[in-house]
Structure 1
């Protein structure tokens, strides 16, 4: 294809992508979301089109800037950056135009200025050391050993097997497993070396000879050259590093040293050979346990194989709570261990031992000799958690004995070298379960901080239609649109999310029901895995949803109130099965007062002035619905839209009649009581598994951040009269917000 035909074809594809953002694309609904994927696949198959595509995207960005078409800017910029990361070689003049455009975005409000600053800083490094962005992405996603860039990432996909059909779960597990089979650390290292050398040397690099040489080398030599390239690229890309000319000269020496005595060959001057971008490290999990998310994150920081191996024969890592006085004792180097006792437990029955030093006299009583050593679970070990990040900048796993007169070295500050990208597949019900797990994790972190200083936790959501209803979800009478309200809100707020991610809601069930054949494996491996990887790589702007806390009061006074959280909605209904003792009384009263039950509602009404206005009302109702996801982007995410179905009694010549009227209001705090102690049911987040029965009262309010509550309790303990936030409390986030990443966040 000639240059003019190639440019026309790419321009036509880009314009079709923009029309899809406007909703005017003539393609069928099932084809939506494919345009971006096919555009990037075109550049993968023909790498020399990368420069042409980047040039077209820059022109379209500048045209959108002049025409004030802001909803085009972020999708075009993401498409451009994803192309630039994978491109074998981009002229510096073209990168400079993109860099200048990103700097101009700093004058716009969020999220434009945030994304512009992020990409401008990346482009500045890429211009100094070409290939840096590709190299850092592969190293972190594959957890390759690298001292200059020690960051690690992992992509966790969670699906609830009780909410999704078994065919979808099996298809997703198979596709993610197949995506990892073809990848190896050696292959990923070879990709980094090849891309970095070609990005620096351009078309003078003999890519065929380089790949053949790397294929012939043993794994140890491949890792050696990989470390050489990483050190050179990171040294040039860091602040104060060498210029681009010195960087090119250094990589050229590595290039000639790698080829050795092999003939350099004649590199094709008219074409560039691209290097594929490996799929990220993906693990698929069926969410069957409540604590499964926390366990997977802990094991990511320190794999199970490492945590189960003691540091020496009969030794385990030293607990961090060991008294400081034992650190200076020479005979206390052996760590305390746990065994099953075989003696009577009486001190005088223990065998005679050598007299220990004074500090160890008390400690020696904790040992039991001759027993069977018990290997504790690594997830329950405090020492395992505190030594869970054995990386540069992390806290050492144990305390080394210090010499007399030499002060101990201060502990190095912890760094977030690990990034966990958690992708939730399903509808609003799995997000409600995520809110529960996130609240539990934050409570655990408030009591004892382990993950927060070391781990950057990112959440992503891909809506998936439920398909055939499951037995556990038989009571959830809701359509696909009602079950995917969060995804619908994210799609309205971010058109690029709507175009690329919301379309998977119907595509994934279709791919799962396709018959097993080579064509199905080809489609799913190339499309589904690529879209999930693209979302995790480029979706960096969070939309924060308020988590709401609920306190449930039961009819039985002996039963303790239950506390829970919800994210999307709360539904109450009159309980259908009253006790036999109340059955006749209830029937007689319902005949007089109409259907439903009496309720007293106390709430603080949300007004434009943001002033608290307490209101109370008594009514007869058949139920109420609290929605936490606004129907429009302009509404506040922190408010609840409450709809109460009130039963109104009217009298006329024909007798009494009853009609249902919907009372609607917005609030942040609400209390509901049943004066006659008649029970009702409460269902959270549209999930029939999270239903409370025999409820006579409930309190709903924004869920507070557990660390804020803990610090607030400590502050008021010493100053009971203090009512306002003072000290560290006023700097802590007060509300618990669940961030879900999209490509742009909420575009104003």
Structure 2
């Protein structure tokens, strides 16, 4: 196919992507999300066409910037950057045009300026050392050891077996294994070496001969050349005035040494040939335990210990907890106090002669040496611990919830000394029920980190959400309205993200019904191992390019029961809390005294106390007494344009009415927008609660429920510490004034919220 035909074909594919963003071709909604994947697969099969695609994408970006097509910019830019990372050779003038366009985005509001700045930094590094983005991505995702670039990433994919069927879980597990079947450590080392040399030398590199020679070498020798290439690339990136010519000379020297170490074939350079980008290291987990997320993260961060000393140090770290926990801190339990060692380590402070220094069995020579007694590891100072915790929170400072503010991204400036070497990308699959479990796990993790800072200094935690719904909706109390709403009633958060980010709608929300459909079809990976794993490819693209978080408020629930002997319960929810008055039978004597003509009103009398949300941020407390049969609290906004972080409470209020046939009762919807709310039953009748539409999280015989924004545990700890010395102060003081107050759960998308 000639270049003109190829260019026309690629241009048609790009224009089809843009029409999909405009919402055209409603008849082909089942094929949404395939266009982007098909376009990239075309380039993977013909790497020579990468430059053509980059050229077309740059033209479309410039056209979108000149016209009123701002919603095209971020999808086109993500497609362009993904192509640049995988492309073997791109001319310098194309890099210059893309770099200039990213700088123009700095004049636009978020998220355009944020994405433009991030990509401008990446392009600058890529122009200095071609292939460095590919190299760093493979090293981190495949956990290849390198002292010059010691970063590691891993993708944890969690599926709730109570939400997804066994067929879907088995299909996801099979595709995860198939995507990494032909992805060995040796092949990844060869990919890094080949790509670096090819990007630096261009057409002067004989890719076929280089790959053949590298594959024939021993693992130790292959590791040696890998370290040489990484050193050359990172050395160029660290230079103040890096020179492309000097960089090419370094890689050419390595290339010559590799070729000279073996007899090359008679092949000759045939132009740019592609080096595949391996899928990231993805592990699939069935979410069966409450603490499973925490255990997997700890196992990822903690290096394997092979010596007794390292094992003992790990045990001491497990038993060590940060002290100074206040007994009245609501969000964290009281921890035990440890005893510090009084040994100073100075020779004159050693015990007198005759006292035992070592355990029995130690030699006299060992006893004569200067020894230290065992103690505990000294904890970090409170200021340092709070700095770690503050930087790890995806909050918006100490701004009160309920104010009008952006929910996309974070306003916290990364601290330069917090350079985390590990990145965990947690992908949850399911509906709003699995998101409720994620909120619980995240809250538990933050409480652990408040008691003992372990993961925060090392781990960068990213959350991703892939909606998956199969069969009929299974809500706690299905009604006619919920059944008519369809299956997407269980995916309110995904619907909101799809409206806010069109690229998320095209690439991620399309998996909602596609994954169950593909799970029932015979897998082509079993018969054709070289087939492309569609689901894993889309998830890999999502975790690589989804860099803009949208933060959602986590709400805390305090529950009181009708039985005074039963302990109050505390829980959290993310999307919805629904309540229904339970059917209660009156005593027999009361039934006998009632007249037959008396019509009992449904529901129960409820005392509702809430703080009304106003745009002026004035506090207006409201107390009402009404009769209701049930209510629903929605935490997810109905529209992407709504930027007010609050609860939308819909109460089905029972009103007495009179007509010709006598007295009757009708239900009137009562809508409340509030920051926090307390509901208490004024009768003997109780009500039941269901959190995040999950029947497993149902509470019965409830007489009172108090809902408020969940506070960040580190904020609670710091405020409690401050109140010790300033008991008469009620406001935030000290570090608490600058710390995130509310616990926000960040879900990564491609663009965040486009306004």
TM-score, normalisation: structure 2: 0.85
- CA distance, structure 1, for counterparts of residue 501 and residue 676 of structure 2: 29
- CA distance, structure 2, for counterparts of residue 84 and residue 73 of structure 1: 16
- CA distance, structure 2, for counterparts of residue 97 and residue 727 of structure 1: 48
Unaligned runs of 5+ in 2: 321-337, 351-355, 381-387, 389-415
The Cα of 1:567 is off from its aligned counterpart by 0.2
Identify if the C-alpha distance between structure 1 residues 663 and 521 changes in structure 2 by more than 3 Å, giving closer, same or farther: farther
Q: Which residue of 2 aligns with 1:229?
A: 229
Q: Which residue of 1 aligns with 2:462?
A: 458
Q: Which residue of 1 aligns with 2:59?
A: 59
Question: Any conservation in 2 of the 1:601–1:618 contact (CA below 8 Å)?
Answer: yes
Q: Which residue of 2 aligns with 1:46?
A: 46
- CA distance, structure 2, for counterparts of residue 189 and residue 585 of structure 1: 85
Superposed counterparts of 1:256-405, under 5 Å: 256-260=256-260, 262=262, 271-303=271-303, 306-307=304-305, 309-311=307-309, 323=340, 325-326=342-343, 328=345
Question: Any conservation in 1 of the 2:603–2:628 contact (CA below 8 Å)?
Answer: yes
Q: Which residue of 2 aligns with 1:623?
A: 630
- The count of residues paired between Structure 1 and Structure 2 equals 690
Identify if the C-alpha distance between structure 1 residues 68 and 362 changes in structure 2 by more than 3 Å, giving closer, same or farther: closer
The Cα of 1:415 is off from its aligned counterpart by 3.3
Give the match's secondary structure for 2:180. Answer: helix
The Cα of 1:654 is off from its aligned counterpart by 2.3
Question: Any conservation in 1 of the 2:341–2:373 contact (CA below 8 Å)?
Answer: no
Question: Any conservation in 1 of the 2:612–2:622 contact (CA below 8 Å)?
Answer: yes
Cα offsets for 1:182-211 (capped at 9, x unmatched): 111111011000000000000110001100
Identify if the C-alpha distance between structure 1 residues 456 and 331 changes in structure 2 by more than 3 Å, giving closer, same or farther: farther
The Cα of 1:310 is off from its aligned counterpart by 2.1
Q: 1:655 aligns with which of 658, 662, 669?
A: 662
Q: Which residue of 2 aligns with 1:575?
A: 582
Question: Any conservation in 1 of the 2:345–2:372 contact (CA below 8 Å)?
Answer: no
Superposed counterparts of 1:510-589, under 5 Å: 510-518=517-525, 525-576=532-583, 578=585, 584=591
- CA distance, structure 2, for counterparts of residue 694 and residue 596 of structure 1: 14
Cα offsets for 1:303-349 (capped at 9, x unmatched): 5xx2475238999776577846546268999xxxxxxxxxxxxx9xx
- CA distance, structure 2, for counterparts of residue 308 and residue 590 of structure 1: 81
The Cα of 1:385 is off from its aligned counterpart by 12
Cα offsets for 1:380-428 (capped at 9, x unmatched): xx98999xxxxxxx9xxxxxxxxxxxxxxxxx96631000000000000
The Cα of 1:685 is off from its aligned counterpart by 0.2
Cα offsets for 1:583-618 (capped at 9, x unmatched): 849998995441111111111111222211111111
The Cα of 1:515 is off from its aligned counterpart by 2.4
Identify if the C-alpha distance between structure 1 residues 547 and 316 changes in structure 2 by more than 3 Å, giving closer, same or farther: closer
- CA distance, structure 2, for counterparts of residue 128 and residue 361 of structure 1: 52
Moved more, 649-658 or 33-42: 649-658
Q: 1:694 aligns with which of 697, 701, 704?
A: 701
Identify if the C-alpha distance between structure 1 residues 191 and 553 changes in structure 2 by more than 3 Å, giving closer, same or farther: same
Are positions 1:252 and 2:256 aligned together? Answer: no
Moved more, 413-422 or 699-708: 413-422
Q: Which residue of 1 aligns with 2:111?
A: 111
Identify if the C-alpha distance between structure 1 residues 581 and 627 changes in structure 2 by more than 3 Å, giving closer, same or farther: farther
Cα offsets for 1:342-388 (capped at 9, x unmatched): xxxxx9xx989999999999969x9xxxxxxxxxxxxxxx98999xx
Identify if the C-alpha distance between structure 1 residues 115 and 45 changes in structure 2 by more than 3 Å, giving closer, same or farther: same
- CA distance, structure 2, for counterparts of residue 362 and residue 583 of structure 1: 78
Give the match's secondary structure for 1:666. Answer: strand
Q: Which residue of 1 aligns with 2:653?
A: 646
Question: Any conservation in 1 of the 2:654–2:667 contact (CA below 8 Å)?
Answer: yes
Give the match's secondary structure for 2:308. Answer: coil
Give the match's secondary structure for 2:462. Answer: strand
Question: Any conservation in 1 of the 2:142–2:281 contact (CA below 8 Å)?
Answer: yes
Moved more, 156-165 or 606-615: 606-615
- CA distance, structure 1, for counterparts of residue 179 and residue 693 of structure 2: 33
- CA distance, structure 1, for counterparts of residue 536 and residue 53 of structure 2: 23
Question: Any conservation in 2 of the 1:207–1:267 contact (CA below 8 Å)?
Answer: no
Q: Which residue of 2 aligns with 1:499?
A: 506
Moved more, 351-360 or 177-186: 351-360
Question: Any conservation in 1 of the 2:420–2:458 contact (CA below 8 Å)?
Answer: yes
Question: Any conservation in 2 of the 1:311–1:317 contact (CA below 8 Å)?
Answer: no
CA RMSD of aligned residues (A): 3.3
Identify if the C-alpha distance between structure 1 residues 682 and 225 changes in structure 2 by more than 3 Å, giving closer, same or farther: same
Unaligned runs of 5+ in 1: 334-346, 367-381, 387-393, 395-411
Question: Any conservation in 2 of the 1:543–1:746 contact (CA below 8 Å)?
Answer: yes
Question: Any conservation in 2 of the 1:141–1:154 contact (CA below 8 Å)?
Answer: yes
- CA distance, structure 2, for counterparts of residue 362 and residue 648 of structure 1: 77
Moved more, 197-206 or 716-725: 716-725
Cα offsets for 1:101-155 (capped at 9, x unmatched): 0000000000000000000000000000000000000000001001111100000
Q: Which residue of 2 aligns with 1:373?
A: none
- CA distance, structure 2, for counterparts of residue 421 and residue 549 of structure 1: 25
Identify if the C-alpha distance between structure 1 residues 50 and 676 changes in structure 2 by more than 3 Å, giving closer, same or farther: same
Moved more, 173-182 or 528-537: 173-182
- CA distance, structure 2, for counterparts of residue 179 and residue 351 of structure 1: 55
Question: Any conservation in 2 of the 1:422–1:458 contact (CA below 8 Å)?
Answer: yes
Q: Which residue of 2 aligns with 1:614?
A: 621
The Cα of 1:525 is off from its aligned counterpart by 4.5
Q: 1:445 aligns with which of 445, 449, 460?
A: 449
Cα offsets for 1:411-466 (capped at 9, x unmatched): x9663100000000000000001000000111111111111111000000000013
Are positions 1:199 and 2:216 aligned together? Answer: no
Are positions 1:173 and 2:173 aligned together? Answer: yes
Are positions 1:508 and 2:515 aligned together? Answer: yes
Give the match's secondary structure for 1:68. Answer: coil
Question: Any conservation in 1 of the 2:450–2:713 contact (CA below 8 Å)?
Answer: yes
The Cα of 1:552 is off from its aligned counterpart by 0.6
Are positions 1:36 and 2:40 aligned together? Answer: no
The Cα of 1:652 is off from its aligned counterpart by 3.4
The Cα of 1:467 is off from its aligned counterpart by 2.8
